Structure formats: C-alpha cells, structure tokens
C-alpha cells in the first residue's frame, strides 16, 4: 500500500532520517524484537530495531548478521547505556555497518555518541524532558525519542501527550519520535501535526505472525484491555523501584509480596539495605523470558503498553502496517 502525498509530506523529516518508507520506528522489546520481528517491520516499510538487552557482543554480532540475511532495508540496534560491555557493543555495531543506534536506559556518555558519529552511525536518545533533550542535542544526539508512561516495560512518570506538548513546540533542531500508547494511524498523524518526525510503536507488533513470542503471550495480549496493563508498585520510598508496565498476573502480586517480605527483613535487621535493594531489583530477572519464550504467562512478566487494548488478532506485520497507514490516510482526507 502506498501512502499519499499528505502523509509523505508531514513525516518526510522522519523517513529521510530513518531511510525507511514510513516513519514508524519499532520499540525495542527484549526477547521479542529479534531478527524475525525486526526484519518483518523493515520489510513492511517501517524501521525495525533490535533489542540488545543483556546480550554479549558476540551474540549481538550474530543477531545483526542474521537480520541482514532477512532484510536489505535499514534497521537499528537498541543498546542499554549501563551494559558492562558498552564499548564492545558499539564496536560490533560499527563493524557490522549498523546505520542507526538507539541509546536507552539513561543518559549516554558523550564519548559513546562521538564514537558512533565518527563512524557515520546516527544516534537516537530518549529525552524525558525538554531540558534533557537540549542536553542530548548538545552532546551530539542526531534524534530524540520521547516516551510516555503509557508504554510497556520500563516507564517514566509523564504521559506521551504531555511530553509532546512540552517538547515538540520547542525543540526543532533534530527529528523527534513520539512513543507510548500509540495504536492507530490517527494518533500518529496528530503527533506529526504537532511537529514529530514519526512515532515509535512496540505493543502493536507483538502479535505479528512473524513475532517469536509464545502463543500464550500473544493470547494474553489479545484478551487484555488497556486497563490490564499496569505499572509495578513501589511500596517503600527507601527502596525505589523503576516502574515497569505489564499485564497484571500472579507475578504482579508476587512482586508486591516479595517487596513486603524483603522490607520486613530489613526493618528487623536481618538483611543490609544494599542487599535488600539488589534483591528487589533482581526479582524480575528472567521473568520476561519466562513469559515471552516459555509461555508462562502467570509467573512471568507480560510487559505491555496500554495500547494492548487495540491488539485483537494475530496477523502478518505487513497487514498491521497497512492498517496503520490506511487509518492515517483516511484521517488526513477527512
């Protein structure tokens, strides 16, 4: 399906930056955004992004090469800035001629941005505020992503609609992609009209036929409404929890009880504060794989954004993209 001139015009900045037909960026979802889903999104006209997550450099190199065998279109790699092998991962991306790298999970180091730019790799960074966005641009970021709390996985405290109003009218130097809670073409158009270069979607692609997510994981998405995707709860300000949005299940309740137990142990002097904090932080380790790959949707983590309520069937990636483009075009014609 070919998009009309109006849509071409309003996201031209995004498509030119990404090198893709559509300025639809794939959210990097651990265990889900691997070679099959990423190549399918790029082949459908969007821009797939591999989720490196905790991968070691050798595994990332294999995944990039495997993705290149499945698509000849551009795709990017998402790197977590706190990864202990960050320099080696950057080398892998450069050596494998990755065109775009998304630096996530915090403020990247200036020398990492400079390293990528010197190798002609375009960098995208997450900006939780206009102030941080301006700082990232000064550091050399080529584009920004603003992600609202409606998104799945690790989230910030502010909604996409508010971030868009705070940032899009004031930062014009680089392309900005809006993420979080986007499930229809009309929403994409609205953000484009506000000044966005494109949008990032993740939850809407989990149930693509090409996604390797377990059938149980996909069915959990299809059966859920937007209100089922809830943020994890922090019970004690002494033990901060980075909120994660996921579908409520047994594991959600277990995490609450686990926190209560660890906090009680600390208060009784049975465990040191640092050890207690580490145990809380490590609770979810392996829980996402348990749900995505093994299909344990009761005890695993079913990370999902609030747009999950708009996911109602398993279908080819091309069909998902075609529907988004048709919605955008119809909205522009009204």
Q: 238 and 121 in one domain?
A: no
pLDDT 10s digits, 100-110: 999 999 999 99
**Residue 325 to residue 17: CA distance in whole angstroms:** 19
288 found inside a domain: yes
Q: Tokens representing 122?
A: 């375009």
- Eight-class DSSP state of 25: E
Q: 232 and 102 in one domain?
A: no
185 found inside a domain: yes
Q: Provide the domain limits for residue 288.
A: 225-303
Per-residue confidence (pLDDT) for residue 295, from 0 to 100: 98
**With contact defined as beta carbons under 8 Å apart, do 3 and 129 qualify?**
no
**Residue 265 to residue 261: CA distance in whole angstroms:** 6
Write down the residue that tokens 């809670």 correspond to.
181
Per-residue confidence (pLDDT) for residue 3, from 0 to 100: 46
Q: 257 and 172 in one domain?
A: no
Q: 322 and 204 in one domain?
A: yes
Q: 169 and 199 in one domain?
A: yes
**Residue 164 to residue 71: CA distance in whole angstroms:** 32
Q: Tokens representing 135?
A: 């700082």
**With contact defined as beta carbons under 8 Å apart, do 320 and 205 qualify?**
yes
Given phi > 0 = left and psi -120 to 50 = alpha, else beta, which region is 326? Answer: alpha
Q: 111 and 10 in one domain?
A: yes
Q: 142 and 25 in one domain?
A: yes
218 found inside a domain: no
pTM value is 0.95
220 found inside a domain: no
182 found inside a domain: yes
CA of residue 213 relative to chain centroid, distance? 16
Q: 235 and 116 in one domain?
A: no
What is the CATH classification number for the domain harbouring 137?
A: 3.20.20.70
Given phi > 0 = left and psi -120 to 50 = alpha, else beta, which region is 122? Answer: beta
**With contact defined as beta carbons under 8 Å apart, do 41 and 16 qualify?**
no
Number of folded domains in the chain? 2
Q: 184 and 231 in one domain?
A: no
pLDDT 10s digits, 208-250: 999 999 999 999 999 999 999 999 988 998 988 888 999 999 9
Cα separation values, 227 from 149, 233, 248, 301, 303, Å:
13, 15, 9, 16, 13
**With contact defined as beta carbons under 8 Å apart, do 260 and 234 qualify?**
no
Per-residue confidence (pLDDT) for residue 323, from 0 to 100: 98
25 found inside a domain: yes
29 found inside a domain: yes
pLDDT 10s digits, 150-205: 999 999 999 999 999 999 999 999 999 999 999 999 999 999 999 999 999 999 99
Q: 139 and 16 in one domain?
A: yes
Q: 314 and 299 in one domain?
A: no
42 found inside a domain: yes
Q: 267 and 163 in one domain?
A: no
- 26 forms beta bridges with 201
Q: Is the pLDDT of residue 282 over 70?
A: yes
């Amino acid at each position: 399906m070919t998009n009309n001139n109006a849509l071409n015009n309003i996201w031209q900045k995004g498509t030119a930056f990404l090198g893709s037909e559509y300025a639809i960026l794939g959210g990097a979802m651990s265990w889900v955004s691997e070679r099959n889903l990423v190549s399918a999104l790029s082949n459908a006209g969007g821009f797939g992004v591999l989720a490196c997550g905790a991968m070691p450099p050798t595994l990332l190199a294999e995944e990039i090469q495997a993705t290149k065998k499945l698509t000849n279109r551009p795709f990017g790699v998402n790197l977590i800035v706190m990864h202990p092998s960050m320099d080696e991962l950057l080398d892998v991306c450069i050596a494998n001629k990755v065109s775009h790298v998304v630096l996530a999970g915090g403020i990247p180091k200036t020398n990492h941005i400079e390293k990528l730019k010197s190798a002609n790799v375009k960098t995208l960074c997450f900006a939780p505020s206009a102030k941080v966005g301006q700082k990232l641009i000064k550091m050399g970021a080529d584009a920004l992503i603003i992600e609202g709390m409606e998104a799945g996985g690790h989230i910030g405290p502010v909604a996409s609609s508010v971030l868009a109003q705070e940032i899009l009218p004031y930062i014009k130097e680089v392309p900005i992609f809006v993420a979080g809670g986007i499930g229809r073409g009309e929403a994409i158009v609205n953000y484009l009209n506000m000044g966005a270069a494109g949008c990032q979607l993740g939850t809407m692609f989990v149930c693509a036929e090409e996604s390797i997510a377990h059938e149980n994981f996909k069915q959990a998405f299809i059966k859920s409404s937007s209100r089922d995707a809830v943020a994890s709860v922090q019970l004690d300000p002494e033990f901060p929890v980075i909120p994660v949005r996921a579908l409520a299940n047994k594991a959600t309740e277990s995490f609450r009880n686990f926190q209560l137990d660890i906090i009680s142990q600390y208060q009784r002097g049975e465990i040191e504060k640092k050890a207690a904090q580490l145990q809380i932080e490590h609770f979810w380790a392996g829980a996402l794989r348990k749900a995505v790959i093994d299909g344990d949707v009761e005890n695993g983590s079913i990370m999902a954004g609030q747009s999950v309520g708009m996911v109602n069937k398993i279908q080819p990636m091309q069909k998902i993209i075609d529907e988004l483009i048709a919605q955008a075009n119809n909205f522009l014609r009204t």
